Structure 1
């Protein structure tokens, strides 16, 4: 049976028992739920097997950390990919491209201070307003976090205005527009733009108040609508290319960058 080439252990992962299930088990019988083992097997194209975390811990660049074989393949359209067979508690996924995940994890090894920023962009894409609010509250990110730094961000990182350093250089507003997350777009305009408050629907302002979110002084901070991605496009220009629900936003001028 194959084992992880990094730690030489079985290709399984121990899962702690759920607290509620554990309480029910304890209440219903004399034996406790001791958790269980699930599959945790990443088989690379070279044939080497890793636990998922072991691969993340040892991967760098494009070679297998064990045998040194180049793992990068190129699609007919010219895009790079790194395929594997992933077997976990969700079953077997064959020919799964994990290059985007490994690229991000490699980047975060070098710049761990940007992990919260990456999570912020992910929440913007998912439309998870509550998660965004929790993340900002946790780091008090109406203000810049002076203890963190990263490429292209000077001496500090403003999570609200963070731009994707390993992708399109898009901001959270770009991501919200691309994924048609209207609630996120409203939240970002409230927290990181100078859009007049009277242009916000009452329901939006009330929802923000209920979440404990309010606009802080924007002096000396870039309006998020001014930020451009790697192709020089603002969120407004991206919205124009999508149309649909953004047409009314474009007509109202909400996404229009302020005059510099």
Structure 2
């Protein structure tokens, strides 16, 4: 009944609402800074591993698999949009990674990536997490945009499952930004604001993704695969290496396994 009611809404509006939810969960995770001044490295590794597992599972179950199925239904070679879109998504994130100034958590300012800039360390740290959120918002937006081209309720429930899964892994990401900033001397309020701001790009990317696939229907399988490629780039380039800090790297592996299994469960059960 709820699914039927939601299907009456414009997919762009649904994408906006869903990515507002994922942003709010980022803010909720960032609010942990009001309760904790530091975060245990092992716990952080497990949380980052969990986020990586969710994104890997979402990339296949919610994005690549539907893209291949849509291409088959359209009578085109199914692997073409999957491969082209996937590699294009990775290339897009690679370009942004080389251009946008950013700094990964735990590194000194001389390790900043992207174009050289005099921006403050805190801005560079937030931009690093923002890179994670671009493909996440895009993925949710594209998934909801697909609803306009397929009336099957499973498409909408799959998009909802994806938004829920992305939101779930945004909680530890929000905490992973704000708590370390607090440890570096920021006030709790300032650390919280920087943490939640890292997720503001998700509604923007979500609306853009939904609007594009609504405007150009043949683009949909490519757009889904593009979002998958961008997410996998983030996982391999940033989340997995960051989750391997310290000696107990098995915790990040366990977190990734749990995150993958949970996202797979959500997508298969709801989608």
Shorter-chain TM-score tier: under 0.3
Q: Structure 1 or 2: larger strand share?
A: 1
Relative contact order (C-alpha < 8 Å, sep 6+): which is higher? 2
Larger Rg, first or second structure (1 or 2): 1
TM-score under structure 1 normalisation? 0.22
Q: Structure 1 or 2: larger helix share?
A: 2
TM-score under structure 2 normalisation? 0.21
